[in-house]
Structure 1
Amino acid sequence: MSKSQNGQLSDIEALPDAHLLNETVQTVSFEALSVSVSVKGAKEDKRIIDNVSGVIRAGEMVALMGPSGCGKTTLLNLLARRTNTGVTTEGKIYVNGGEISGGTFRKISSYVEQEDHLIGSLTCRETLDFSAKLALSNSITSAERRRRIDALLSSFGLVSNQATLVGTPIRRGLSGGQKRRLGVASSLITCPKVLFLDEPTSGLDSAASYEVISYLKNVCKQNNLIVICSIHQPSTSTFNLFDTLYLLSRGKLCYAGPLTETSSYFSTLGYEIPHFYNPAEYLLDLINVDFAQDKTAAEEQLQKIQTSWQSSGSLKQISEKIATCQEEKKEVVLEAQRTRSMMLLPFILLHRSFVKSYRDVFAYGVRIAMYLGLAIMMGTVWLRLSTHQDSIQPFVNAIFFGSAFMSFMAVAYVPAFLEDRASYVKERNNGLYGPAAFIIANFLIGIPYLFLIALLFSIVSYWLSNFYPSGEAFMYWVMWLFLDLLAAEGLVVLMSSLFPIFVVALALTAFMNGLWMSVGGFLVSPRVLNVFWKYWARYIDYQAYVFQGMMVNEFSRRNYQCGEGCHCMYATPLEDQCMIDGNGVLEVYGYKTGKNGEWAGILIAIIFAYRLLAWFVLWVKKT
């Protein structure tokens, strides 16, 4: 994208994106907005936003600016209708002079968060393509979808990088500025009329910041969009790209109006912006009390600025404009309703997850290698166990180790799921899909990989350790391991959905696995386990059913030789033959044969219960 000699965007940089053209929303106005939160021990609620009003017209790019903690992100979230629970809000927000429902507002708006939350193993084009499929599904043709993607790639200067991966920890991809532009482009694929951006230049240098905002302004002007950004201390060149400035300090407005009138307004108050000085930096220093050397003077100066604004003619003009918008109220006419097949959404997500899983070694590749290492260790530690009675306890130990540690090591899935969850939160908030599609796709993508892990682990460990040598027994072993892994991954998904913080999710999942190991039947026999743990924990412990299924699979099929002098460790009907019937071992643990179907059914119910609970948690939690 080229710039003219004076640094302004030229008029011939890119063709307009007709599908983005905003002919629906002319104004977004807000009147006397306030946000309060309760503070423990305080008599009154704390005001984060206090009596803020304004009018934003189509084609305007607005900067919400102020010192750290001034309330600009809170105001952005309030305008985007993303207020958190536990806060009290006051005031009105109008679109075209009238109030509209939250559902309608979500259909005409989109939100770009401060964090990119892009899937690193997708290319630029694939990122936009999947966003388009999720947003538009079967409502447009493939040719129309490609045209929209081509237009956005062109508008944001990403054509030459369309086949480049976003980037993973081990594969370098796009630069920070390119990622930010791609994040904005993926939000525009849904054709919003109002676009919110939280700190779009965060983490970028001045050149990359200018690059992102200039591309954004071009799209805003060409398509008559409303763009509202919270921004912190931009460079002069970046600051000058905005049309309108809302300047806040301690939740109150210090100025709201055209950027070109900022200098003259503050000059009338006696604060002349020095020549060759970054105006954004000067204004922030002017209203920042927290780091002032003379706190009293700074407080008085801020109060003067805010009081002057409250009595200014500019504020009166804003009130008049809000009234005019209400008098000229126009209905928000939505475009033809996009028809999306709810059944199709999980499979679009499944396709995207599949692309990620085979490109990103951290998704399943590392886990496969990790489990193979565990299989080799197990097979060589319990190497070629014999059918002598001395091998009975080692066989039991190997069964416990193989089942318990396979599920315990599922904690390695926590970081991969948290990355997927971050993408889900962003896309759900932008109305692309809900928790049901996400949970279904997440479950389905794991099935082939977890079966492969169970099969490879069994091929190595089962035969090295000399478990019962038959094809049927081997496949039962694989089945129990596969169900074990499905349940363990379901536990990871549930814990990570409840507490989406890496360390917390990891610790809780490890704790739950430790609990399941303790009551699973190996460390404490079910016959002597106290009633408190036996009658709730053990019956919902998936590891208990896996352990007893594997025990029955091994010991119901085998007899073992007694020691010298026919001294048998277990009393069974075969004792007179100097043999131990494996069923005698099962009796010690209280396990019965012929219950494989019942145990497998309970395991499947537990697997689905974990996923259903995870769905409920995601449905309740919006972030």
Structure 2
Amino acid sequence: MIIDIQLRMRFFESDHACVQFFAETGFPCPSRRNPSDHFLRCVNSDFDDVAATMKGSMKLRAEAELDPLLKYSTSEIRERLVDKYRISDYAMMVRSTIHEITKIEGVMEDVIRGSQASWLKQLRTLTSRSFTNMSRDLNYYWLRIIIYIVMAICLGTIYYDVGTSYTAIQARASCGGFVSGFMTFMSIGGFPSFIEEMKVFTLERQNGHYGVAAYIISNFLSSMPFLLAVSWASASITYWMVKFRPGFSYFAFFALNLYGGVSVIESLMMIISALVPNFLMGLILGAGVIGIMMLTSGFFRLLPELPKIFWRYPVSYIVYGSWGLKGGYKNDLIGLEFEPMMPGQPKLTGEYIITEMMGLSLNHSKWLDLAMIFVLLFAYRLTFFVVLKVKEAAAPYIRVAYTRFTVKRLERRASFRKTLAMASMSKRHNPPHPMAIQEGLSSPMPY
């Protein structure tokens, strides 16, 4: 009630009116004391300890004649202030002012939670802001584009004009495996930016500025131009230097296949950034997960030869690498003929290489393999949405559990128990000596 009195008078009246009210109640502010300190002295019970410490001293009796606060306890001062305020003109004026404010059109008494912007407005604003941040941060995408271009040049020079000889079969497969595996693996370089972005998202989400879905979609839309630039720039260099099958449709598939793999890895790292507490742990976890994806893609060991339980079904079906590699093989090999291992033997067709040498099926088109990558991309983004929602709902329980665990761990330490015991003894046997009783101070709260 006392705090309510002070706040109401501070907001609706001048400082002079507040000082006048306390004076009318019988507690005037001394001329050399700060009014805020005087108000605090009236309502804070901690100063009762000061009076108790000085009880019986000649100095206290002398000051009591000048300072009426020393004659009463804090509880008595509070009661007098409350009783006086209830029947004062100040209370009537405050109630009248509040009543007039509530009649103003557009003023709402209830607290409005969350953002008042529409979902589309949130999406547009977040997309624009995220795109601006990505454009200005050289380490976010620009440096990665340069690294991808350099890597594409290196790859193109190593496999330059690979041809259609018998040894070119393994060379083409290796080049495709590197593109679908290691070139997408380099997307892990964006993880530090994801960690920083998650900090901003957590703070803004707690304030209710926007929804989780708007954030995820905006991040995908704002990153799309940069990822397309990464994939198309890399594909343009590698595809024409290696001299894969000529034709724009084949090149477009190659670039989209790379874009899908990079986007899936970005989504995976965003999931990890929402789960781990720091950069180092996320980097280690992300590298491990991507390594497992590469092992089950069908390059290091053919898909039919993977252990059927777990690795073949379902792992190879839920990782992007197997679909990207199968689609890449079909895009590059179908329709080509390669020289046989021994001269005089019939040439090897691309279909034969895919089915017999790689153990893959031609029952569906390469476009279905590409479509499955984008299905996985959607599934990973949906998983990211679920993770953020679950984390948001479980955050209070996690904090409570972590606090209890920390307290129990500290209680088991002998040094911590000793510190608590010493603090308890110090508080019991050594009462504090406030600065107010030191020589030269005329009151508990001097100006």
Is TM-score (shorter-chain normalized) higher than 0.5? yes
Aligned length: 334
The structure with higher relative contact order (CA 8 Å, sep 6+) is 2
The aligned runs of 1:429-578 (5 Å cut-off) are: 429-532=206-309, 533-563=311-341, 565-566=343-344, 575=346
Output aligned runs, 1:92-491, within 5 Å.
257=40, 267-268=50-51, 313-314=73-74, 333-334=109-110, 339-491=116-268
Distance 1:316 1:543, change over 3 A: farther
Q: Measure how far apart 1:396 and its partner are.
A: 0.6
Distance 1:336 1:518, change over 3 A: closer
2:359 is matched with which residue?
590
What letter is aligned with 1:585? I
Partner deviation per Cα, 1:92-117 (whole Å, 9 max, x = no partner): xxxxxxxxxxxxxxxxxxxxxxxxxx
Relative to total residues, which structure has the larger strand share, 1 or 2? 1
Q: Relative to total residues, which structure has the larger helix share, 1 or 2?
A: 2
* 1:509-536 alpha-carbon deviations (Å, 9 max, x no partner): 1111000001111111111110121111
1:580 counterpart letter in structure 2: L
Q: Which amino acid aligns with 2:159?
A: W
Per the alignment, in what secondary structure is the counterpart of residue 348 of structure 2? strand
Q: Report the identity percentage.
A: 24
Report the counterpart of residue 370 of structure 2 in structure 1.
600
In 2: Cα distance, 1:396 partner to 1:365 partner = 29
Q: Take 1:454 and 1:242, find their aligned partners in 2: how far apart are those partners?
A: 68
CA 1:258–1:474 in structure 2 vs 1: closer, same or farther (change >3 Å)? farther
* TM-score normalised to structure 1 length: 0.48
| Gapped regions of structure 1 (runs ≥ 5) | 1-25, 30-54, 62-220, 222-240, 245-255, 272-311, 568-574
How far does the alpha carbon of each residue in 1:363-418 deviate from its partner, in whole angstroms, 9 at most, with x for none? 21111112112212211222221211111111111101111112211111111112
Kept in 1, the 8 Å contact 2:216–2:381? The answer is yes
Q: Give the Cα separation in 1 of the matches to 2:378 and 2:80.
A: 57
Does the residue aligned with 1:527 lie in a helix, a strand or coil?
A: helix
One-letter amino acid matched to 1:334? D
Distance change (3 Å), C-alpha of 1:333 and 1:394? same
Deviates more, 1:378-387 or 1:603-612: 378-387
Which segment drifts farther, 396-405 or 363-372? 363-372
> Rg: which structure is higher?
2
CA distance in 2, matches of 1:258, 1:270: 16
- CA gap 1:242/1:391 in 2 versus in 1, 3 angstroms: farther
C-alpha offsets along residues 531-556 of structure 1, whole Å, 9 cap, x if unaligned?
12111110101111011111111111
Is the Cα contact below 8 Å between 1:243 and 1:259 reproduced in 2? no
Change (3 A) 1:336 1:503: closer
Q: Distance in 1 between matches of 2:280 and 2:145?
A: 22
Q: Any idea what the Cα deviations from partners look like across 1:38-74, whole Å, max 9, x if unmatched?
A: xxxxxxxxxxxxxxxxx9946989xxxxxxxxxxxxx
For residues 367 and 304 of structure 2, the distance between their equivalents in structure 1, rounded to whole angstroms, comes to 23
CA contact (8 A) 2:153 2:237 kept: yes
AA in 1 matched with 2:327: G
How much has 1:435 moved relative to structure 2? 1.2
Return the alpha-carbon distance in structure 2 between the equivalents of residues 353 and 59 of structure 1.
45
Q: Distance in 2 between matches of 1:552 and 1:398?
A: 14
Q: Deviations over 1:312-336 (max 9, x none)?
A: 95478779999999xx999981378
Distance 1:243 1:604 in 2: 64
CA RMSD in angstroms, aligned pairs only: 3.9
Amino acid aligned to 2:123: P
Provide the rounded CA distance (Å) in 2 between the counterparts of 1:343 and 1:620. 24
1:358: Cα distance to partner?
Answer: 1.2
Match of 2:205, SS state, is helix
**How far apart in 2 are the matches of 1:407 and 1:389?**
28
Summarize the Cα distance change of 1:531–1:27 in structure 2 as closer, same or farther, 3 Å threshold: farther
How do residues 7-22 of structure 1 correspond to structure 2 at under 5 angstroms? none
Alignment check: 8 A CA contact 2:43 2:78 kept? no
Q: 1:390 to 1:491 in 2, by over 3 A?
A: same
Distance 1:456 1:242 in 2: 70
Alignment gaps of 5+ in structure 2? 16-33, 55-71, 86-90, 103-107, 396-447
- CA distance in 1 between counterparts of 2:207 and 2:158 reads 52
1:268 positional shift: 3.7
Counterparts of 1:501 and 1:539, CA distance in 2: 30
Once the two structures are superposed, residues 232-275 of structure 1 have per-residue CA deviations (whole angstroms, 9 ceiling, x without a partner) of xxxxxxxxx9968xxxxxxxxxxx9569989966754659xxxx
Helix, strand or coil at the partner of 2:199:
helix
